Amino acid sequence: MSDLLVDAVAELYEADPDGFTERRAELAAAARDAGEPAAAKQITALRKPTRSAWVVNRLVRSDPDVRSRLEALAADLRAAAGSAEGARIRELTAARARLVDELTRTALRVSELPAPPAALREEVTATLDAAIADPEVAARLGTLVRAAHWAGFGLAPLTEGTPAPAPARKTKTPAPAEPETAREDRRREKIMEAERTLAQADQDVEAASAAERDLEEAVRHLEAELADARQRLAEARRQSYRAESRQQRAARQLSRLRE
């Protein structure tokens, strides 16, 4: 791969996507001027990332350890799924949720997005989670063009891919029974997914409870401020009434003096 292409990829997928198209054109022109038309063509073909994809790309490019941490956890999860150790699966599922949450917060901070839209945060979280589950997503970290989502059970296999199934033949011969090992693999995958869902639910409950406590405290403060404001309002009304009474007495006295 041309050095100009490598440098262009690094710059374009780390910089804010708002300037992607203009900068891509400049880098492609520079490659053509440098006598590398093939690199210029490849640079022109680079696709602009969505903002959520850019957030993940920037995280990975700013911290080389992110990729290795995701890969290590994925390897541990696959090993645990193969052994069907329930306690280990639960432990790693909880660790997966913690790591994704930590990296999401770090990614948003690195991208200077302290208060992002909920949809963007969810896409960043889903992409990091998919990178653990799917090696193909993990391989694209740093050059993602859109958010990724993992909709399967457990983790994707580490194979390069499986051939497409042959067209079904019209026959009355019953399909062979699913092998016991395949059923057991699917069962382990479902258990792992259920454990992950449970761990995420535990985190959601904890976060919701914390938010509830914070809101209750805020309500107490507001109620105290409201009670104080009501007392001050009552006192202001009493003062206003006394002032009006004095005004009326003074007006009557002045009227008598003028008679």
pLDDT, tens digit (0-9, with 9 covering 90-100), for 182-199:
666 666 666 666 655 665
Q: Which pair of tokens denotes residue 111?
A: 């991208």
Q: Which of 15-19, 161-165, 246-250 has the highest mean pLDDT?
A: 15-19
The answer on pLDDT for 22 being more than 80 is: yes
Q: What is the pLDDT of residue 237?
A: 86
Spatial neighbors of 60 by CB under 8 A, at least 6 apart, are 66, 67, 141, 142
Q: What is the pLDDT of residue 188?
A: 64
The answer on pLDDT for 180 being more than 80 is: no
Containing 227, the helix (H) or strand (E) segment is helix 180-258
Maximal C-alpha separation, the chain: 123
Q: What is the pLDDT of residue 23?
A: 94
Q: What is the pLDDT of residue 109?
A: 94
Q: What is the pLDDT of residue 203?
A: 55
The reported pTM is 0.59
CA 79 to centroid of chain Cα atoms: 26
Using CA atoms, how far residue 164 sits from 97, 134, 161, 168, in Å, is 33, 19, 9, 12
What are 68-116's pLDDT values in tens digits?
999 999 999 888 877 767 788 889 989 999 999 999 999 999 999 878 8
Per the model's pLDDT, the better-predicted residue between 183 and 135 turns out to be 135
How does DSSP classify residue 255?
Answer: H
Q: What is the pLDDT of residue 179?
A: 67
Average pLDDT, the chain: 81
**Percent of the chain predicted with pLDDT > 70:** 73
How does DSSP classify residue 127?
Answer: H
Q: What is the pLDDT of residue 183?
A: 67
What are 197-247's pLDDT values in tens digits?
665 665 565 556 555 665 666 667 677 777 778 888 888 888 888 888 888
In terms of Cβ atoms closer than 10 Å to its own Cβ (0-12, 13-18, 19+), residue 50 is middle
Q: Which of 61-65, 165-169, 203-207 has the highest mean pLDDT?
A: 61-65
The answer on pLDDT for 135 being more than 60 is: yes
For the ranges 32-36, 60-64, 81-85, 202-206, the lowest mean pLDDT is seen at 202-206
The answer on pLDDT for 164 being more than 60 is: no
CA 250 to centroid of chain Cα atoms: 71
For the ranges 24-33, 153-162, 223-232, the lowest mean pLDDT is seen at 153-162
